[in-house]
Structures are given as C-alpha cells and as structure tokens.
Chain A
Amino acid sequence: MVAGPLLELRGVRKRYPAVLALEHASLEVQRGEIHAVLGENGAGKSTLMKIICGAVRPDAGEVLWEGRPAPVGDPALSRALGIAMVFQHFALFETVSVVENIALALPGRLGLRALAKRIEEVAQRYGLPVNPWRPVYELSVGERQRVEIVRCLLQSPRLLIMDEPTSVLPPQAVGQLFGTLRGLAAEGTAILYVSHKLDEIRSLCDRATVLRGGRVVARVVPREESEQGLAELMLGREFPRTQRREHVPGEPVLELMGLSMPAEGPFGIPLRSVSLKLRAGEILGIAGISGNGQAEFLAALSGELPAEDAQTVWLGKETIGKLGPAQRRRLGLAYVPEERLGRGAVPEMSLAQNALLTGYQRGMVRRGLIEPGAARRFAQDVIVQLDVRCGGPRAAANSLSGGNLQKFIVGREMALQPRILVLAQPTWGVDVAATALIRQRIIDLAGAGVAVLIVSEDLGEILEVCDRVAVLASGRLSPLRAVSDTGAEEIGRWMSGAFPDAPATLQ
C-alpha cells in the first residue's frame, strides 16, 4: 500500500460568474478516516465535493489520488477511481423497485436476480436492511438513503462522500448510519462527511476541515473542540444562542377536532382523526418524518385542501374548515410553507411583488390596482427587520440564497401580524446564522402572544424552540408532551408510530 493520503487537494480555486466559490482550498483525506467538511451554506462545501467527484472542473489547483495527479472534470473517471457520493436529495424513481433503481444507476448489465442477491449481501454485511424487491414509494426516507448507500457500496468505493446525510433521518436511524460508516472506515474506506451539525461531527469524525467563504480556515480534531468553538470557527464570529422565554399559554387559538384528510397524490398518507389545541403564546412542535401525513396536515391547516367538515378546524370561535387560504389569512392565520421557491415565493418576481403575494390585504391594492410603493415599503421593512441580505425590494426572489429567502418569507408572514403562525421546516437547508435568527424571531413572536405551530423533521430544532411537542406518524398524531417532560429518546421512538392513542378530548 502506498503511504501518504488517499486524496489530496492543493490550492484549488473555482470562480463562478457571480462568486468566488473556492480560493486556495486544500484538503487531505487518509484511508480509513472519517473526515468532516464543515461550513455554512455558501462556504464552498458543495463545490469542493463536486470537484472531487468530477462534476466540476477547478480553475486552478491540483487533485492528487494516492499521490498521483487525478483526472478532474469527468465523473466517469472519478467513479472509476472509486469515488462515490450519496446525495442529500435522492434521485430514485418512485414507482419501480429498489433493484430496478440500482440497476439503472450501475454501469454494465447484470441480471436483476443476480443484482438483488448482491444487494442483499452488501446490505447484510454493513447492517443496512433493504428489501431489493420493494417499490421505492413504499420506503421511508431513511430506507431510501440506505438504498443510495447500498448503490454506492456496490461499486466498492474507496472514498465515500456523504452530503448532509442525517438531515432527513430520525434519531435511531442516525445511530444506525453512524455504525455503518464506522464499519466501513474500519475496513479502510475513507469517508468525507459534509455537514453543519456539530454534535454529529464531534461524535463521528476523526478530523475536520472547516470552510468559510470559500477558504479553509481551520483543520481540527473535532473531539478536542467544543460545539461552541466549532460554530465560531465556522461562522467567524460569536455564535448567537436562542433565548427562551417563559411559557405562559393563553386562550386556545387553533383547535383541530378529529380532522381527517384523504391522501394527497398516489403516494400520500391520509390524516386520521387528528385533534389538538394550540394556545396563544405557545409554540407547538409537530415532529416526524415527512411523508407521514405532513403534507396533508399542512394543507388542511393552510386551507389549500379544505376539510370535508367545517367543524373540524376552529380558529378562535370560528369554524374555518371549509375556508380557503386567503380567507384564513384574513382571519389571522399566516403560513410559511416548506418549499420556498415556487410556493412561498414566485422565483422570477421581485421581493416587492412577493410581498404582495400574501400581504395584499394590507393596503397594497387600491381599487384593483397595485400600489407599488406600498409593496416596496412593506418588502423593505421585512428586509430590515429580518436582516435579509439582498439587492433591495426589487431583487428577484431567485437571486437570494436559501437562507435569506427564508428569512424574507418568515418576516413577511410575521409582518402580517397573525394570531397564529404555521411554519413547515422553518430552517431546513438554512445556514447557521439565519437559523438562529429565525428561531429567535419565532420565540419572540410567541412571547408577544402569537400561537405558533412548527412542523419539522429536525428534532433538535423542536426541542430547542417548542414548548410542547407531538409526533405525526402514518397520519396519526401522538399525544402532546411538554418538551421539558420528554426527550429525543421518547420522541424518536414515537416517530416510528409506536405511541399510545391520544385521548382526543384531553389534547
């Protein structure tokens, strides 16, 4: 075996038309190590990974594989070296089986039966239970990730890149994944672990390279650093902490009484008699993995999918089950959807026009004509309030980074002065600084007496921000618990659907 690092990058530089993504970046990965690449969104992590797997050609710099110059800019050649990547978003075909999906992705032709046998072997060996004959739409997100990992492992990679692998996993599955990764590393496979979750990096990774603004700012052994210290390396300044407030629940604002919903689309999950009571000044978290009725639950709350029985949804003393989104908004229900571009905001429209999207009832329309000045002022206020980094109210929504657009959307909905704010995955894919800001604003808003409901896959977020928590699994809602009376252990167990039936009247 050749001594020295398996993969080495030296002085890598990549400029895109608008930004310098990487400047003088270097990285060294040893055989059998789990190496973290840590950084905020936009720090250059994904560009670096794309260079390694051949999807992007660097403008300058060297890529060495076992000490020899490696081919750059050709994914097929990188694959041939033994570099494989598990992406954050899985590119699987829903309607066909696991083995067919993998057959499509693998070069060469192998009979499905033979391939299925190999899948089972690999799955067995690394503790990744996967049934090759199941159609993908039946699989949970964690199972889909396993399929992707198995797909990579079938190519016997020597370097496995994992891009934010735990953002979609329940706590138990995270433990399982870490076990698999440690086993792989012990066999000599190098693992590049891209993440901004500091606790995971500290427990899993041997070494870490920290990126900020396209440059490598530190190389550390994460176990020897505190989370606070890692965060400050990553941000380059002090890490903002969310300040909790005292939880003083007021009058009930939103009540669901036995709300049922048919499934949305062929792979949706129907809601089964969901009941809950949300009070003013309270933050309620709905944990659970997406695809367990979350879409249906949110559509039923926002009014995009009106309920069959008006009596199942109450806003204060009014039944709103049959009202549409605009009417519910008028009654004080604001909503931040999960998809930012295309749903929460129209990509090609300006921020001012996007302010109009939900803010039009606030003096921006007179006699059927838009008041552009009023819309711009509204957008400008939101920009200032939430510290949105952008080119002003005239900037197009799709010119903003994900975190800044999310800040704008959250700020816009807060500026509607709602009685209840519903947020779906409020900080999904949002950088650390913006996440902290958004969470703090949510807490402040509840402190001002607004009822807040958060649907999130990020259990850490729910435990940090919420007062009470319930789990939505297979379309059923678990009992509600005060966050102080429960923990990741119990909630994680509930995510798989193992919870007692909630007594509807007591919620």
Chain B
Amino acid sequence: MQLLSPLLAMALTLLCGLGIFAGLGLPPGRAFHALFIEPVSGMNGLSELLLIASPLCLIALGLAIGYRANVWNIGAEGQMYLGGICATGVAIHWQGHAGAWTLWAMLVAGAAGGALWASVTAYLRARLHANEILVSLMLTYVADQLVKYLVYGPWQDPQANKFPMTVEFGDDALLPLLQSFGWEIFDGTRVNASVFIVLAAIPAAWLFIGRSFAGFRLDVSGQAPAAARYAGFPQTGAIWLGMLIGGAAAGLAGAAELAGPIGRLNDRWTPGFGFTAIIVAALGRLHPLGIALAALLMALLYLGGEAGQIALQLPKAISQVFQGMLLMFLLGCDVLVRHRLQWRAAPEIAAGAAA
C-alpha cells in the first residue's frame, strides 16, 4: 500500500491535469502529448531531462536520509545557495590560476558550504530544541539575500552593465560536457559530468540506508525515538547527521549547477530545485531507487511546463500547478491509505443512561 499511493497520486494528478486542459478549451490528448511526450522525444529533450533530474535526485537523496530519521530539513534551497556561493568563491578567487583541481575544489567547497548552512539549523535544533522546519526554511531567505548581496555587490561582474551576476567561470571551473568525452550520442546536448556524481550517489545512498549501521541508527531514531534512546543512539547525533548529509548533498548540487549549465552565479539561477526535491523525496518513498524515478518525473513536469508555454501558450505556472497537485494527492493518498473516513451522525443520548 505504501508503494501504491505514489502511483495513485500520479494517476489522479494526470486525471485532474487532463480536466484542467479540457477546462481551458484545449484537447486533452494533444495537450498531454505536447507537455509530456514531445519534450522528451529526442536526444536533446532527454538530455535536458537528465540535466534537471540530476540536482533534484542528488538533493532528494540527501534529504531522504534526514527524513528517515524524522529530521525535517525544508531548507535545501538555501543550503544549495550556500553551496553555489562557496563554489563560486573558489572559481572566481582562482580565476587566473585555475587548474584541473579547481573543479574538485569547487565541488568540495559546495558540499561544505551546504553542510555549514545546515549545521546552523542542526545546532539550534540539537541545543535549543528550535523547530528545524522553521529554522531551515527561514535560513533559505537569509541565503537568498546573501546571494543578492554578493551579485549586486562585491562579486558583480564589472563588465555586466550592472546586471546582478558574477563573471563567467573559466573552463577549469566547469564540468565537462558528456559530448566532450567523444560520445557522439550526446553531441549538441548540454548534459554534463554531474550525472556521474548522481549515478554514484544513488548506490551510495542505497548502501548507507540499507547496510550501514549509521543509517540503521537514523532509521531507529525516526521510527521509534524511545527505542533509539533505549539503545543509546543519541537524538542529537541523528539531528546532526541528518542535517549535514542533506546540506552537503544540496550544496554539492548547487555547485554542480553553477559549474554546469549556469556557468556563473546570478540572483535567480535555480527554479526552486531545493523545494521540489522535498516532493521528490516524498514521492520516491525515501528510497534511493524511488527517488531516482521521482526525480525524472519532476524533471518532466519542469520540461512540460516550458513546452506548454511555447506550444500552447499556457501560463508559466502550469508546472507548479502539476507539482502542487502531485504533492497534494500524494499526501491525501498517504492519509487515506492508512486511515478510513467514517461519516457518523451526532451521538444519540442513550435512553435510560441517566436513570
């Protein structure tokens, strides 16, 4: 039943989506084709799909590990910003003296930056019992302001006509495209080496969740906090580990985004991957394989949203509408799979009870 509810949610989303198209006066079949089939019918489309799915998958894997321990990190978006900031710092500080090491340093700095941002939440939760949902969410807005400060201020490209962006990264600070490895099938596509990071992260997360003792302790903390206390797995440990892994994954994804298709830091470089990844993690049932599939699905919604704007003049919000429906149906299905609605009349006053 646990696995049924995402499938059910997808079916309901699709159904309602078709209903919305019909309501807009579009033939549902054609709209569906234009939104969800056409964008991925060529190699170019598939590579765009991978390009979007990669960061979603990476972030969701990290979040899922925390979620399994009931550590609700909602601030992956902000942790991703910090990852991007740190990677950018490395890239532009060593702009003239870069080497093969630069890219690696950027990725490490990105992961560290994300983890550092998450550690603020972890500290407040572990020491002061501050709610990690609120703290991590609010810190996202702080991180956003930090990015704005940097790209409007000290890191602004002097040649950019006051546009809020840094200089373009040098070649050593960019992830190589797959086509540069000589694989002809990727010719003309933008997909880059970051997919290797994700392909490594999926089995790594699987191993961590399924086989490692640390993963087991997190699961115990999440499923039965009293059992974790009894066994001697401290809750603070679960908070720290869950937040740091989530933050590092988000930071790494941020660094890979900037070193990949974006190529420089600006003030609106992510379409909310950090938030979408929360849906991916939930839709994937916090399991690495499920998350990989869910990431592809959410990436398709992004692509479909863009295609809908072009082909059918649909508003930009269409992909968010689909995301929102999917999450709502998923939560609804989860509740209804576990519980049953019962309609009942107001209780009657039993006769003779007050005798």
B-contacting residues of A (Cβ < 8 Å)?
76, 79-80, 82, 106-108, 110, 155-156, 302-304, 324-329, 335, 337, 339, 342-349, 353, 356-358, 360, 365, 368-370, 372
30 A-B pairs within 8 Å (CB atoms) are namely A76-B350, A79-B353, A80-B350, A80-B351, A80-B352, A107-B349, A108-B349, A110-B354, A156-B355, A302-B230, A326-B231, A335-B230, A343-B226, A344-B230, A345-B227, A346-B219, A346-B220, A346-B227, A347-B223, A347-B224, A348-B223, A349-B223, A356-B216, A360-B213, A365-B213, A368-B212, A369-B213, A370-B211, A370-B216, A372-B211
B residues 161-213 near A (Cβ < 8 Å) are 207, 211-213
CB distance from B142 to the nearest CB of A (A): 34
Report the bound CA distance from A82 to B226 in whole Å.
41
- Quick check: A339 and B226 within 8 Å, CB to CB? yes
Contact B224 A342 (CB under 8 A): yes
* Cα separation A156 to B351 with both chains bound (whole Å): 12
Chain B interface residues (CB < 8 Å from chain A): 207, 211-214, 216, 219-220, 223-224, 226-227, 229-234, 347-355
Query: Shortest distance in angstroms between A380's beta carbon and chain B's nearest beta carbon?
Result: 19
Given contacts A342-B226, A347-B224, contact A358 B231 (CB under 8 A): yes
- Complex CA gap A107/B346 in Å reads 12
Complex partner residue of A108 from B214, B226, B234, B353, CB under 8 angstroms: B353
Q: How far is B223's CA from A353's CA once the two chains are assembled, in angstroms?
A: 13
Whether B232 contacts A329 by the Cβ 8 Å rule is yes
B193 → chain A, closest Cβ, in Å? 28
Q: Which one, B212, B234, B349, B350, contacts A324 given CB within 8 A?
A: B234
A346 CB contacts on chain B under 8 angstroms: 219-220, 223-224, 227
Please name all residues of chain B whose beta carbon is closer than 8 Å to the beta carbon of A304 when the two chains form the complex.
229-230
**From residue B353, how far is it (CB to closest CB) to chain A in Å?**
5
Take A324-B232, A326-B231, A342-B224 as given contacts and tell me if A369 and B350 are in contact as well, using a CB distance cutoff of 8 Å. Answer: no
Additional pairs, 7, CB under 8 Å, beyond known A80-B350, A304-B230, A360-B213: A107-B347, A155-B353, A303-B232, A326-B232, A357-B220, A358-B230, A368-B214
Q: Which chain B residues border A82 with CB–CB below 8 Å?
A: 352
What's the Cα separation between A47 and B117 when bound, in Å?
55
Q: Are A369 and B211 in contact (CB under 8 A)?
A: yes
Write out the residue numbers on chain A whose beta carbons fall within 8 Å of the beta carbon of B231: 325-326, 357-358
**Whole-angstrom distance between the alpha carbons of A346 and B227 in the complex?**
6
What A residues does B213 contact at CB under 8 A?
356, 360, 365, 368-370
| CA distance in complex: A303, B231 (Å) | 10
Nearest A residue to B213, CB-CB: A365
Which of A108, A155, A324, A343 neighbours the largest number of chain B CB atoms within 10 Å of its CB?
A343
* Cα separation A320 to B113 with both chains bound (whole Å): 39
How near does chain A come to B205, taking the closest CB pair, in angstroms? 14
Shortest distance from the beta carbon of A300 to any chain B beta carbon, whole Å: 14
CB distance from B255 to the nearest CB of A (A): 26
Pick the 5 closest A-B CB pairs, nearest first.
A326-B232, A325-B232, A343-B226, A80-B350, A346-B224
The chain A residue with its CB closest to the CB of B234 is A324
B223 cross-chain contacts in A, Cβ below 8 A: 346-349
- Name the A residues within 8 Å of B226 (CB-CB): 339, 342-343
Contacts A80-B353, A358-B231: A343 and B216 contacting too (C-beta < 8 A)? no
CB < 8 Å neighbour of A107 from B214, B230, B350? B350
Residue of B nearest to A328 (CB): B232
Q: In the assembly, what is the distance between CA of A368 and CA of B233, in Å?
A: 14
Residues of B within 8 A of A302 (CB): 230
A107–B351 CA distance with the chains assembled, in angstroms: 9
**Using Cβ atoms and an 8 Å threshold, which residues of chain A touch B349?**
107-108
Q: How far is the CA of A145 from the CA of B173 in the complex (A)?
A: 73
Once the chains are docked, how many angstroms separate the CA of A329 from the CA of B230? 10
Interchain CA distance A358-B230 in the complex, whole Å: 9
Minimum distance in angstroms from B206 CB to a CB of chain A? 12
Bound-state Cα–Cα, A343 to B226, Å: 5
Q: How far is the CB of A331 from chain B (nearest CB, A)?
A: 12
Contacts of A342 in B (CB 8 A): 224, 226-227
**Chain A residues, Cβ within 8 Å of B212:** 368-370
The distance from the CB of B217 to the nearest CB of chain A, in whole angstroms, is 9
CA distance A248 to B201 in the complex (A): 59
Q: In the bound complex, what is the Cα–Cα distance between A107 and B347 (angstroms)?
A: 8
CB-nearest residue of chain B relative to A347?
Answer: B224
Q: How far is the CA of A79 from the CA of B351 in the complex (A)?
A: 9
Measured between alpha carbons, how far is A107 from B355 in the docked complex, in Å? 11
Measured CA separation A326–B352 after assembly (Å): 58
**Most A C-beta atoms less than 10 A away, residue of B213, B232, B349, B353:** B232
Q: Looking at the assembled complex, report how far the CB atom of A330 sits from the nearest CB atom of chain B, in whole angstroms.
A: 9
Task: Give Cα A305 to B216, complex, Å.
Answer: 23
Q: What is the distance, in angstroms, from A354's C-beta to the closest C-beta of chain B?
A: 8
CA of A304 to CA of B229 in the docked complex: distance in angstroms?
A: 6
Minimal beta-carbon separation of A327 from chain B (angstroms): 7
Taken together as a complex, chains A and B put the C-alpha atoms of A432 and B351 apart, in Å, by: 41
Chain B, residue nearest A341 (CB): B224
Chain B residues within an 8 Å CB radius of A344: 227, 230
Chain B residues with CB below 8 A from A110, complex form:
354
Name the contact of A325 in the complex, choosing from B216, B224, B229, B353 (C-beta under 8 A): B229
Complex CA distance for A335 and B219, rounded to whole angstroms: 21
Q: How far is the CB of B109 from chain A (nearest CB, A)?
A: 26
Q: Kindly state the separation between the CA atoms of A369 and B234 in the bound complex, as whole angstroms.
A: 19
User: Looking across the interface, which residue of chain A has its beta carbon closest to that of B217?
Assistant: A360
Which residues of A have CB within 8 Å of B351? Answer: 80
Which residues from B are CB-within-8-Å of A365? Answer: 213
Residue of B whose beta carbon sits closest to that of A77: B350
Interface centre among A106, A337, A348, A370 (most CB of B within 10 A): A370
Chain A residues lying within 8 Å of B219, measured Cβ to Cβ, are 346, 349
Compute how far the CA of A344 lies from the CA of B230 in the bound complex, rounded to whole angstroms. 7
B53 CB, min distance to chain A CBs, angstroms = 29
A79 touches B350 (CB 8 A): yes
Report A296 CB to chain B, min CB distance, Å.
14
B355 neighbours in A (Cβ, 8 Å): 156
A345 to B220, CA, bound (A): 10
A75 to B355, CA, bound (A): 18
Q: How far is the CB of A449 from chain B (nearest CB, A)?
A: 25
Query: Counting chain A CB atoms within 10 Å of each CB, which of B220, B234, B350 scores highest?
Result: B350
In the bound complex, what is the Cα–Cα distance between A155 and B354 (angstroms)?
A: 6
Give Cα distance in the complex from A107 to B227, angstroms: 40
How far does the alpha carbon of A191 sit from the alpha carbon of B208 in the complex, in Å?
57
A378 to chain B minimum Cβ distance, whole angstroms, is 14
A319 to B75 Cα, complex, angstroms:
43
Which of A107, A304, A346, A368 gathers most chain B CB within 10 Å?
A346
The CA-CA distance from A342 to B207 in the complex, in Å, is 25
Least CB distance, B38 to chain A, in whole angstroms: 43
